Amino acid sequence: MIKSLQSIFRIPDLKKRILFTLFILIIYRVGGHIPVPGINGRVLFQFFQNMGGGGIFSLYDMFAGGALKQATVFALGIMPYISASIILQLLGAVVPYFQKLQKEGEEGRKKITQYTRYGTVLISALQAYGLAVFLQSIQPVNGQVVVPNPGLMFKIFTVITMTSGCILIMWLGEQITERGIGNGISLIIFIGIIARFPNALGTEVTQLIGGNRALLMEVFLFGLMILTIAAVVLLTQGTRKIPVQYAKRVVGRKIYGGQSTHIPLRVNTAGVMPIIFAQSIMFIPNTIRTFFPDSDFVGVISGYFSYTSVVYWIVYGVMIVFFTYFYTAIAFNPVDVADNMKKQGGFIPGVRPGKRTAEFIDNILTRITLPGSVFLALVAIFPYFLIKFTNVSFTFATFFGGTSLLIVVGVALDTVQQIESHLLMRHYDGFLKAGKLKGRRRF
């Protein structure tokens, strides 16, 4: 491992990229502590503490790296950009114009990126305005208000500040992608999640020192965390390879094609998106309860949708399975894959090109998505199971599964793969000498 780290810093280009990435991430973390003008941060912190975890604000705060609860200039995080990207991707499945852009290669990608930026500005402005109204509506905590001077000017300053912060985060992410290492947007989310781990770990240490948690239980929990991470890595890396053969073509004196390859179908093609969709919907009852605390009907409904309720687990799991199939159908189109193979002279042995190939790929994808979606649901529900039966904190439990762990594992694997590529291109040993990391190429 030490030799691998030394090899990284022996390559000037790779060293420059890693240091640049770290510099951008430091800027992001510093910006996450600069408060928006006109807000009493201490009162806001007490309000969110009293509200507890598990609501829609906790989901957004996770993507914002804790900046939402502090109402900083980066309070919106990168969620508006993600929302705009998802909307454009969904439009690409139903609107012919966006379908055409997706097939135009580099030029189409540039136009989609530009539309995504415009959508990010619009969504961030709307969310910033909604957040400003919400901050003004918070009832006094211990006789103190969150916004001492509410009004139109506060809303204007909040919208301008938070929208500018979101645009800056988007630009920082693009800079990492172009000049750094790894996917910039993903790394920004990654560092925001990881930043919460020291506090969660400190809470567990405090519980252990205070005698509220046995040493054997802590050892068991950390062992369980390692096993869960290993299982998520298997889920993320799991693929089904479909063999593809390309026919030989003679052009002049040269022979093209004739090689064998494969189509890698991921067990979890949808990634973390099904959990985000399902979690956003499942948080709605508890979020509504914060606005109607005196309603008995809302209280009963939200009780069934508490994250320690078995009803919540069942509905949540079913929704994850549904959204896994839904998003996989959008992200992967077997018809396009079959058409491209036919145009390039490729075929699956024993399967006719064209429609039969598309049906064959779709059938395999449907089969491997089922166990992937079920396992994804179990990973998402597991943290809530721990909260109910081991009494660990909500923040610490999120590192045992769900959105946090899937994002951390996925981004970490992607970044390591890119570092591997830089090392192997220059004839160095890979960053990880053991194991079978997808994407590794031997020279």
CATH code of residue 103: 1.10.3370.10
Q: Which pLDDT score is estimated for 9? A: 73
115 lies in which domain range? Answer: 1-195
Residues 207 and 183 reside in one and the same domain: no
| Residue spans of the chain under pLDDT 50 | 440-443
Residues 358 and 225 reside in one and the same domain: yes
Cα(46)–Cα(332) distance, rounded to whole angstroms?
45
Residues 62 and 104 reside in one and the same domain: yes
Cα(242)–Cα(361) distance, rounded to whole angstroms?
8
Q: What are phi and psi of 221, to 5 degrees?
A: -65, -45
Query: Is 414 inside any structural domain?
Result: no
Query: Is 4 inside any structural domain?
Result: yes
Residues 53 and 145 reside in one and the same domain: yes
Residues 96 and 127 reside in one and the same domain: yes
User: How many domains are contained in the chain?
Assistant: 2
Residues 292 and 239 reside in one and the same domain: yes
Residues 370 and 311 reside in one and the same domain: yes
pLDDT tens by residue, 159-196: 999 999 999 999 998 899 888 888 888 888 888 888 88
Q: Could you tell me which residues come within 8 angstroms of residue 204 by beta carbon, excluding any fewer than 6 positions away?
A: 213, 218, 221, 392, 393, 396
Q: Which pLDDT score is estimated for 443? A: 33
Query: Is 415 inside any structural domain?
Result: no
Task: Tell me which residue has tokens 């240091």.
Answer: 19
Answer for the pair 352, 367: CB distance below 8 angstroms, yes or no: no
Q: Which pLDDT score is estimated for 121? A: 92
Query: Is 442 inside any structural domain?
Result: no
Task: Tell me which residue has tokens 């992608």.
Answer: 177
**pTM value?**
0.78
Bridge partners of residue 251, in order along the sequence: 254
SS3 content of the chain, % helix, strand, coil (to 5): 70, 5, 25
Residues 45 and 186 reside in one and the same domain: yes
Query: Is 405 inside any structural domain?
Result: no
